[in-house]
């Protein structure tokens, strides 16, 4: 929606606001204070550089204070052991363990430790201050949806993962030891029981209560191990060795309790509780629950009595709690192509053949007339509208490859005959060419069994397999190629590559299950190979298969083996591609951008050293994705420019160059706006049409980009034209009732809504939502984009409650899987703020707008037009509240930032004009400026489709205030 367009029905007035602190900081379990004062420090007292503000919690071991750090000018939580406890070796060591554990961690989901030491004979830890409730209090504060609960627990899971990566087991994870900040983010705290992995659990006298009332009903017994029995796994009850799977059990108990309101295991005593865990008497999900089945199943596995029966790690559990998606596309966000993993340029030597004239015949044998006829028949049998033109384009590309292959092989042969290169170099060049020929041969085999998916991908499959420029780079071949040692090894390698080539082509063709089956059938023979390119290739493909099944840890393990083998034997292209794959999985599955960054840098360096511009271009394409995830858009644009330049220098297929242009255009749009992006998109359109014609589905990305630029420029008729062009391409490539058609229909519906054809748009979006729900499930993030646009249409119908409900549902879905700041969440928060204004809920509007502002600043910084749009919303709220000073500050800043969308900027200017004229004490100059700005806005809205509401409002305002 980009901001609710109508402003006519604002109702002035500010609801009274109430704030509740609710900050609960827990101490390790201990009895409440009796003999000592529960608050031994008065407000204003100084403890070194810390000034006491208030007491947050207290217990038998110590007290937690809110304090001000005068040195670093920030608020902190100060945890102190009581003097008598500080003298106790166990208590002293326990607090220091917590400090040491937390000091090792630097993660958004773990409470940060700033300082540790002793003062007034008391051990202390200075920690990050979290102004919010603990997880138990948060769950009970109001009714929470499963999506909300899961989103918070996913944050907590990431905190535990960070601890486990640092070699730390928490051993007392429970809802009381997770704090929820005002930003809604969960942080794990209270690592006082944390020990290194696999350490035995000491048995101590457990206490009878906590430092606050949120833990009533827990089991406690004298002589039990440290921890909270109700959340402890059997191995911890028994004092045996613990590891990260112990924390996983505690996490699943907590999550089960938060979702269902009861704990999975109960017992009046520790013995009864252990018996329940052993019997695995987990109650089934309550009837009528909205908790997804895959979530319940994931939790139950994590509650297994035996550690080996639980998930292998917290990362594995976190993945199991995420809804599965078969595609990663979105039509609402400016999407960037996912990490381009590339294909392994694997090599095997075959005996060179002379004289040099034989190569023309070998090339012609690759795609003879009878083989071409079989592929053509398979294409036409699909009855797709683009089948015939797709075959013609593929046929041209294969014929061109044959000619290029013959010429390159002939030149390599002649260079050896003339004494310009050694026999060894001739063999290196020929085995490079023969590997390329074998890969294309496997591609043609799959083309001969074409279905609609194969046809849609056929041109790109051929384009990626027909690059042989590297076979003429003698320096790179000398550095990066390994020949078989003898004829026997060459024969075994050729047989292995027959399998691996077909596995790769099947994967590119979308036939993952066939690829997996084929690899499994031959894995024993392939594992027996000692030829480095074969071994590295096997590891690579096993990584791809595991990754396709969402087994990220296993995928990384295989890719790391491929990476190590490739580095050991100088197979730099394979090493570069493996490093890119590892970067992808660390980024997407482990949310470890730092490690992903290390691998992608290595991939780029290795690709450059390999001499393959195509591999380097692909690695730079991956860098674009990583930089976008980190909101480093300028660097993303530079990487996109470099990737495109290398693709052009490498004389890559026009489709691949066109795709690189689209990626660059997406970055240009972010950094420089839609007008600059349009130039690149039109160039990409011309390039692709000139190369393969207009009917192959490869223009969908181009037309989606052109639609988006036209929409942002308020050119809604043009936007509709490009949306329909994209729809036509999708239907030609994939038929009707497909996901591809649904994505295109969504854009058409949005364009129709902007043109006032609301009922048509509603009908179309309902069909889109039905398709997405059927294919992805109702909780998949892609549905949030459809719901957002359905809500926008409800706004145009002035159905504010319906719009708010749809925006809210979209936000819940998106928040459940978001990892940090999200463009979609930012947009939805702004839309919720705008609708809240229309409903007269200014307090709610302000909260949504503040959330949107935090995300916009994190994603775009302070000077981007998107941040300016959120400032406009904040200025609007302040104006309706009568706070003219705050409104002027926000709107003046938004005007200075600017916006490429004329109607969006006109809204900002009109609101600013209102502030200038309506503010108490406005000067004649302010009034004159305000009227001039309003008249300019009137002109903009008069020429903008779908802005009649704003035009009416501006004219009414001018009539009331002009003169």
| Residue with more model confidence, 912 or 211 | 912
690-721 per-position pLDDT tens digit: 887 777 678 888 999 999 899 888 888 999 99
Q: What is the structure's pLDDT at 15?
A: 25
Interval 513-564: pLDDT, tens: 898 899 989 988 888 888 899 999 899 999 988 887 778 889 899 999 999 9
pLDDT of 736 higher than 50: yes
Question: Are 259 and 291 a contacting pair, CB within 8 Å?
Answer: yes
* pLDDT score at 636: 92
843, 175 contact by CB (below 8 A): no
- Per-residue pLDDT at 344: 30
- Percent of the chain's residues with pLDDT above 70: 85
pLDDT at 200 over 70: no
Greater model confidence, 696 or 849 = 849
* DSSP reduced 3-state for 117: strand
Judged against a pLDDT cut of 50, whether residue 500 lies above it is answered with yes
Q: What is the pLDDT of residues 461-473, one digit of tens each?
A: 888 877 788 888 8
Under a CB-based contact definition with an 8 Å cutoff, are residues 9 and 799 in contact? no
What pLDDT digit, counting tens, does each position of 239-286 carry? 888 888 999 999 999 999 999 999 999 887 878 888 889 988 888 888
Tokens found for residue 852: 């949107």
Residue-wise pLDDT tens digits, 37-64: 344 567 777 778 888 888 887 765 678 8
Looking at the chain, the whole-number percentage of residues with pLDDT higher than 90 is 31
What is the β-pairing status of strands 122-128 and 74-81? antiparallel
Alpha carbons 163 and 190: distance in angstroms, whole number: 12
- CA–CA distance, 41 with 32 (Å, rounded to integer): 17
| Average pLDDT for the chain | 80
Backbone angles phi, psi at 717, to 5 degrees: -65, -40
The lowest-confidence range among 484-493, 605-614, 640-649 is 484-493
Overall average pLDDT of the 66-91 stretch: 73
Helix (H, G, I), strand (E, B) or coil at 820: coil
Task: Give the pLDDT confidence score for residue 828 in this predicted structure.
Answer: 94
Confidence category of residue 777, pLDDT binned at 50, 70, 90: confident
Is residue 901 within 8 Å of residue 910, measured between CB atoms? no
Task: Read off the pLDDT band of 290 (50, 70, 90).
Answer: confident
Of 631, 632, 604, 633, give the one whose Cα is nearest residue 620.
604
Please tell me the predicted confidence (pLDDT) of residue 193: 54
- Long-range CB contacts (within 8 A, 24+) of 727-733: 729/695, 729/697, 729/699, 729/700, 729/703, 730/697, 730/700, 731/385, 732/384, 732/385, 732/386, 732/695, 732/697, 733/384, 733/386, 733/452, 733/455, 733/456, 733/696, 733/697, 733/700
Least confident piece of the model among 113-122, 171-180, 565-574, 673-682? 113-122
Task: Report the pLDDT value the prediction gives residue 21, as an integer from 0 to 100.
Answer: 26
Residue 735 clears pLDDT 80, i.e. is over it: no
pLDDT (tens digit, 9 = 90+) per residue, 203-250? Answer: 433 333 333 332 223 333 333 345 678 899 998 888 888 888 999 999
Candidates 663, 666, 597; CA nearest to 626 is 597
pLDDT of residue 86 exceeding 70, the answer is no
CA distance 591 to 589: 6
Taking the C-alpha atoms of residue 686 and residue 396, their distance in angstroms, rounded to an integer, is: 19
Q: How far is Cα 833 from Cα 850, in angstroms, rounded to an integer? A: 9
**Is 680 a residue whose pLDDT tops 90?**
yes
- How many Å from the N-terminal Cα to the C-terminal Cα in the chain? 35
The catalytic residue positions are 172
Output the six-digit token pair for 15: 């609801």
CA separation for the pair 724, 718 (Å, rounded): 10
Reported as a pLDDT band with limits 50, 70 and 90, residue 101 is low
> Is residue 622 pLDDT above 50, yes or no?
yes
802 backbone dihedrals φ, ψ, rounded to 5°: -65, -40
Q: pLDDT by residue (tens digit) across 783-801?
A: 888 898 899 889 888 899 9
Reply yes or no on whether the pLDDT at 340 is more than 80: no
Q: Is pTM, for the whole model, over 0.85?
A: no
Question: For residue range 139-176, what is the model confidence (pLDDT) as tens digits?
Answer: 998 988 888 899 899 889 988 988 887 778 888 899 99
Instruction: Give just the sign of the alpha carbon dihedral 582, 583, 587, 588.
Output: negative
DSSP code string of 406-457: HHHHHHHHHHHHTTSS-HHHHHHHHHHHHHHHHHHHHHHHHHTT--HHHHHH
In this prediction, residue 226 carries a pLDDT of 53
Indicate if the pLDDT at residue 369 is higher than 80. Answer: yes
């Amino acid at each position: 929606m980009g901001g609710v367009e109508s402003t006519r029905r604002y109702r002035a007035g500010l609801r009274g606001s109430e704030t509740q602190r609710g900050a609960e900081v827990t101490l390790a379990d201990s009895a409440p204070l009796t003999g000592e004062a529960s608050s031994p420090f008065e407000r204003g007292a100084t403890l070194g550089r810390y000034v006491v503000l208030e007491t947050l919690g207290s217990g038998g071991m110590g007290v937690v204070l809110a304090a001000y750090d005068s040195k670093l000018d920030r608020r902190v939580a100060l945890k102190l052991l009581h003097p008598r406890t500080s003298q106790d070796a166990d208590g002293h060591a326990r607090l220091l363990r917590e400090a040491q554990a937390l000091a090792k961690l630097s993660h958004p989901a773990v409470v940060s430790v700033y300082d540790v030491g002793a003062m007034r004979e008391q051990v202390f830890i200075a920690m990050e201050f979290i102004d919010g409730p603990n997880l138990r209090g948060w769950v009970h504060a109001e009714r929470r949806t499963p999506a909300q609960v899961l989103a918070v627990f996913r944050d907590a899971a990431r905190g535990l993962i960070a601890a486990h990566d640092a070699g730390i087991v928490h051993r007392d994870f429970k809802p009381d030891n997770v704090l929820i900040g005002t930003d809604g983010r969960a942080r794990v705290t209270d690592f006082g029981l944390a020990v290194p992995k696999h350490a035995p659990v000491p048995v101590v006298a457990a206490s009878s209560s906590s430092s606050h009332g949120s833990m009533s009903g827990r089991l406690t017994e004298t002589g039990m191990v440290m921890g909270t029995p109700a959340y402890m796994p059997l191995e911890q009850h028994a004092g045996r060795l613990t590891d990260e799977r112990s924390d996983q059990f505690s996490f699943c108990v907590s999550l089960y309790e938060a979702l269902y309101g009861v704990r999975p295991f109960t017992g009046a005593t520790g013995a009864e509780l252990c018996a329940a865990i052993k019997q695995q008497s987990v109650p089934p999900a309550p009837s009528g629950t909205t908790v997804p089945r895959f979530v319940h199943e994931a939790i139950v596995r994590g509650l297994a009595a035996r550690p080996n029966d639980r998930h292998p790690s917290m990362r594995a559990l976190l993945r199991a709690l995420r809804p599965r998606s078969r595609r990663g596309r979105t039509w609402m966000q400016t999407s960037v192509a996912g990490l381009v993993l590339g294909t392994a340029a694997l090599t095997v030597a075959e005996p060179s053949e002379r004289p040099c004239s034989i190569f023309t015949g070998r090339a012609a044998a690759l795609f003879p007339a009878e083989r071409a006829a079989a592929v053509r028949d398979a294409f036409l049998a699909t009855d797709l509208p683009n089948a015939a033109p797709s075959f013609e384009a593929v046929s041209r590309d294969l014929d061109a490859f044959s000619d290029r292959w013959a010429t390159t092989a002939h030149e390599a042969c002649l260079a050896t005959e003339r004494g310009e290169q050694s026999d060894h170099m001739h063999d290196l060049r020929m085995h490079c060419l023969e590997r390329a020929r074998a890969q294309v041969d496997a591609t043609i085999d799959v083309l001969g069994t074409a279905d609609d998916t194969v046809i849609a991908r056929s041109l790109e499959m051929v384009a990626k397999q027909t690059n042989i420029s590297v076979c003429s780079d003698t320096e790179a071949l000398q550095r990066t190629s390994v020949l078989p040692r003898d004829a026997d090894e060459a024969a075994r390698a050729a047989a292995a590559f027959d399998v691996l080539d077909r596995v790769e082509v099947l994967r590119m063709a979308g036939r993952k299950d066939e690829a997996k089956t084929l690899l499994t059938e031959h894995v024993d023979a392939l594992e027996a190979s000692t030829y480095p390119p074969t071994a590295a290739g096997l590891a690579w493909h096993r990584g791809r298969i595991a990754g396709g099944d969402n087994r990220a840890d296993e995928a990384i393990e295989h890719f790391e083996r491929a990476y190590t083998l490739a580095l050991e034997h100088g197979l730099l292209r394979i090493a570069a591609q493996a490093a890119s794959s590892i970067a992808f999985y660390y980024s997407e599955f482990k949310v470890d951008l730092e490690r992903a960054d290390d691998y992608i840098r290595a991939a780029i360096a290795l690709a450059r050293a390999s001499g393959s511009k195509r591999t380097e271009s692909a690695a730079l394409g991956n860098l674009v994705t990583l930089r976008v995830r980190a909101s480093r858009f300028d660097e993303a644009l530079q990487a996109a420019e470099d990737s495109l330049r290398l693709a052009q220098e490498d004389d890559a297929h026009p489709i691949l160059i066109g795709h690189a242009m689209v990626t660059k255009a997406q970055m240009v749009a972010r950094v420089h706006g839609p007008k600059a992006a349009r130039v690149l998109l039109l160039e990409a359109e011309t390039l692709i049409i000139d190369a393969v014609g207009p009917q192959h589905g490869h223009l969908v990305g181009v037309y989606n980009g052109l639609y988006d630029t036209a929409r942002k420029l308020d050119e809604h008729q043009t936007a509709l034209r490009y949306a329909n062009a994209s729809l036509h391409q999708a239907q030609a490539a994939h038929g009707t009732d497909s996901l591809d058609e649904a994505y295109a229909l969504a854009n058409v519906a949005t364009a129709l809504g902007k043109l006032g054809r609301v009922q048509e748009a509603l009908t179309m979006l309902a069909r889109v939502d039905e398709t997405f729900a059927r294919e992805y499930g109702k909780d998949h993030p892609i549905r949030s984009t459809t719901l957002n646009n359905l809500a926008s249409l409800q706004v145009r119908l002035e159905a504010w409650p319906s719009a708010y409900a749809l925006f809210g549902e979209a936000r819940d879905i998106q928040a459940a899987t978001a990892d940090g700041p999200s463009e979609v969440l930012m947009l939805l928060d702004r839309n919720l703020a705008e609708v809240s204004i229309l409903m007269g809920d200014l307090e709610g509007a302000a909260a949504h707008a503040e959330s949107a502002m935090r995300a916009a600043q994190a994603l775009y910084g302070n000077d981007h037009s998107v941040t300016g749009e959120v400032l406009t919303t904040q200025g609007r709220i302040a104006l309706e509240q009568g706070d003219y000073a705050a409104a002027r500050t926000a709107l003046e800043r938004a005007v200075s930032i600017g916006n490429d969308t004329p109607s969006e900027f006109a809204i900002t200017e009109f609101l600013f004009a209102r502030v200038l004229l309506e503010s108490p004490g406005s000067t004649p100059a302010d009034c004159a400026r305000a009227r001039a700005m309003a008249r300019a806005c009137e002109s903009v809205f008069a020429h903008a489709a779908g802005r009649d509401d704003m035009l009416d409002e501006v004219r009414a305002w001018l009539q009331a205030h002009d003169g």
